[in-house]
């Protein structure tokens, strides 16, 4: 399980969606307070679902097709989350009354998407390898 490269990618995607949002703020307010994802319920739900899908995908390592589908769902979920962040950042452009600067937390879904795409690529490669060995039997 852990020796497969897609498990490493999925574990890193879990860290990106489950742990790093607590460390990196989405943006900084004018009064020098950081705005984290836990202050908006939609962000909490989407990041929680993404983290849960990563864990389920890691656990279902014996079912590669299910793992691949869960990875695709997780990519779509992170794209929705990224779209919400982009929409919010475009509405709060520049120095406004509330937001002083945008944080690195807004770019975490991009990193998660890259890791999930790499994991799905490795899962597909494993599935193709198993199918080619089955043809030889």
Measured CA to CA, the distance from residue 80 to residue 72 in angstroms comes to 13
Residue 63 sits at φ, ψ, to 5 deg, of -110, 90
Tokens encoding 81? 């989350």
Rg (CA), the chain: 18
pTM (predicted TM-score): 0.86
The parts of the chain modelled with pLDDT lower than 70 are: 1-2, 30, 92-101, 136-137
Tokens encoding 96? 């406004």
Helix (H) or strand (E) holding 34: strand 34-35
């Amino acid at each position: 399980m852990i020796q497969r490269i897609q498990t490493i990618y999925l574990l890193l995607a879990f860290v990106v969606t489950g742990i790093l949002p607590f460390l990196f703020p989405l943006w900084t307010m004018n009064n020098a307070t950081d705005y984290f994802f836990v202050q908006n319920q939609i962000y909490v739900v989407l990041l929680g679902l993404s983290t849960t899908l990563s864990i389920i995908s890691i656990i279902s390592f014996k079912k590669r097709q299910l793992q691949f589908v869960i990875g695709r769902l997780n990519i779509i979920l992170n794209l929705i989350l990224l779209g919400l962040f982009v929409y919010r950042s475009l509405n709060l452009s520049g120095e406004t009354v509330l937001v002083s600067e945008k944080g690195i937390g807004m770019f975490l879904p991009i990193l998660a998407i890259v890791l999930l795409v790499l994991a799905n690529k490795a899962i597909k490669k494993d599935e193709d390898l198993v199918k080619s060995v089955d043809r030889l039997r």
